[in-house]
Amino acid sequence: MQIGDPAPDFSARSTEGEVKLSSYRGRWLIFFSHPGDFTPVCTTEFVALAKHQNAFEALGCALLGLSVDSLYSHFAWSRAIEQHFKVKIAFPIIEDPSMAIGRAYGMIDDRSPDAAAMRSAYFIDPSGIIRAIISYPHNVGRSVEEMLRLMTALQAVDDGNGLAPEGWQPGQALLATPAEGGAPLAEGPDWFCRPLP
């Protein structure tokens, strides 16, 4: 899968019942994989995602997790997280024991014997188009703060009238988009990189 591709639809069992990806149309979605339940790095990610779920929901963004583990493992792990870390995993976690969904999304390649390298996230817009992809190795956790920032930035530039500069944060100025044919954005030495008024 690449940025700009339609997100492949699927139906699968999850901790919140049967999930169909296309049922998320009309809102933003972060669909993310993790290598395995009851693993240290994944646990820290899920704790952070659970703590920030309200912030994602305020952006009109749903969370949807996936791993090769069984539904029963997902339930047991979610309960263990709630008991030990005092946070509830309220978003669905999909089971993918055959790795069919992971392979369809390129989270794992066809030669992989297992899902050990699977730690990817797909930022999907309300029309079902993949707008960003982040991938990490199994031994490095994702930053939930960066996932929030990226989602906010994608929404800020969604109308095509601005660009989000390095490190952009909500409330900061966007950059002007380049003119057709490479014409200068404005007079002056910063003609090629100007904030929007």
In Å, how far are 38, 45, 69 from 167, measured between CA atoms? Answer: 33, 21, 35
**Cβ atoms 68, 96 nearer than 8 A:** yes
Determine the length of the chain. Answer: 197
Q: Is there a catalytic annotation at residue 61?
A: no
- Annotated catalytic residue within 19, 30, 42, 148: 42
CA distance 48 to 51: 5
Catalytic residues, which ones? 42
